[in-house]
Chain A
Amino acid sequence: DVKVTQSSRYLVKRTGEKVFLECVQDMDHENMFWYRQDPGLGLRLIYFSYDVKMKEKGDIPEGYSVSREKKERFSLILESASTNQTSMYLCASSLTRGSNQPQHFGDGTRLSIL
């Protein structure tokens, strides 16, 4: 069974801090994704990656960056955290780039920016 592990379930940070959210998958999946989940808005794609050192912008990349130095690890970075980035962040992975590939999700990180 695919395991996607996010480093923290809950995180509290201050405005202006640089925040790192880490995600690791154990199934040698090519693709990894970062979403934020907000009530009434569903899941919105922030960034995704098809391969090591590759990244693509999703629908809401502003204020975020990502890093994928190893195939199994995909990090989301909030360069200078702001209160409107308080949200639930979900990491996901999928085997290949096919449109029929289901994504496997981690438990999420609930991030609060004070």
Chain B
Amino acid sequence: AQSVSQHNHHVILSEAASLELGCNYSYGGTVNLFWYVQYPGQHLQLLLKYFSGDPLVKGIKGFEAEFIKSKFSFNLRKPSVQWSDTAEYFCAAGYQGGKLIFGQGTELSVKP
């Protein structure tokens, strides 16, 4: 069965620290990859997406992600986090038929 795994359940960082959140997906043919963010009390928003081409994709708010096909990974990065990045982050894989398979989510807490 198709699946998406996020390695970290809860990450705590200080402001200005660098961030990397891991995401691995199971192989299922053509796959498109997404990172979503859910700020406290808000709806899920799309951070970035990868379909093809350059494996390093840039999203909103200074986030980027790297697709490594050989490792089935799509890790999210940000060089310097801010207190306002405190949120829950979800990795998702899009499969044929338009369904998304979500990871378990990673809660990020940034200390001011």
Chain A residues at the B interface, C-beta cutoff of 8 Å: 4, 31, 33, 35, 40-45, 48, 50, 58, 90, 92, 94, 96-108
Does A31 lie within 8 Å of B98, measured CB to CB? yes
30 contacts between A and B (CB under 8 A): A4-B43, A31-B98, A40-B9, A40-B105, A41-B104, A42-B104, A43-B90, A43-B100, A43-B102, A44-B102, A45-B100, A50-B98, A90-B43, A90-B44, A92-B44, A97-B97, A97-B98, A99-B32, A99-B96, A99-B98, A100-B32, A100-B49, A100-B51, A102-B34, A102-B46, A102-B49, A103-B100, A105-B45, A107-B42, A107-B43
Which secondary structure characterizes the binding site on chain B?
Answer: loop
Does B103 lie within 8 Å of A42, measured CB to CB? yes
Chain B residues at the A interface, C-beta cutoff of 8 Å: 6, 9, 30-32, 34, 36, 42-46, 49, 51, 90, 94-100, 102-105
Q: Which residues of A contact B96 (CB under 8 A)?
A: 99
A7 to B30, CA, bound (A): 35
Does B43 lie within 8 Å of A108, measured CB to CB? yes
Does A106 lie within 8 Å of B102, measured CB to CB? no
| Additional pairs, 20, CB under 8 Å, beyond known A42-B90, A44-B102, A105-B43 | A4-B43, A31-B98, A40-B9, A41-B104, A43-B100, A43-B102, A45-B99, A45-B100, A48-B98, A50-B98, A94-B98, A97-B97, A99-B32, A99-B94, A99-B95, A99-B96, A100-B32, A102-B49, A103-B100, A108-B43
